Amino acid sequence: MVDRSMTVAEKIMSIREEEMLNKRQASEVMGIPYATLLKYESGKAMPSSDVLMRILQVPQFTKYTLWVMTNSTAPESGQVAPSDYVLKKVTKEATNEKKSG
């Protein structure tokens, strides 16, 4: 797993990538406007706790709840994190954006 703490933006992007959803599909599944998802993933806006909980209550995403909230997993309870491949990809993209921004 990635060593450093991830931002909420990176976690939302990681979940979307792990579930193999494009941004349009993810916004529909999450029940949020597409433009709002773009703001969340870019870090230009932060979802409220209510919105974050609503996203994590989507059956497809409930398995990530513990990880999003505490950076922990409990596979025996069905609580997992996205794959290392996705986590490294997302954190690398975020690092590159910060360097170029």
pLDDT in tens, 71-80: 999 999 999 9
Cα–Cα separations (whole angstroms), residue 4 to 9, 37, 48, 89: 14, 23, 23, 14
Quick one: pLDDT at residue 65?
97
What values do phi and psi take at 79, rounded to 5?
A: -100, 115
- In the chain, the largest separation of any two C-alpha atoms, in whole Å, equals 40
Amino acid at 18: E
- pLDDT of 2 strictly over 80: no
pLDDT in tens, 33-67: 999 999 999 999 999 999 999 999 999 999 999 99
Domains and CATH numbers, the chain: 8-93 (1.10.260.40)
Q: Are 18 and 60 in contact (CB under 8 A)?
A: no
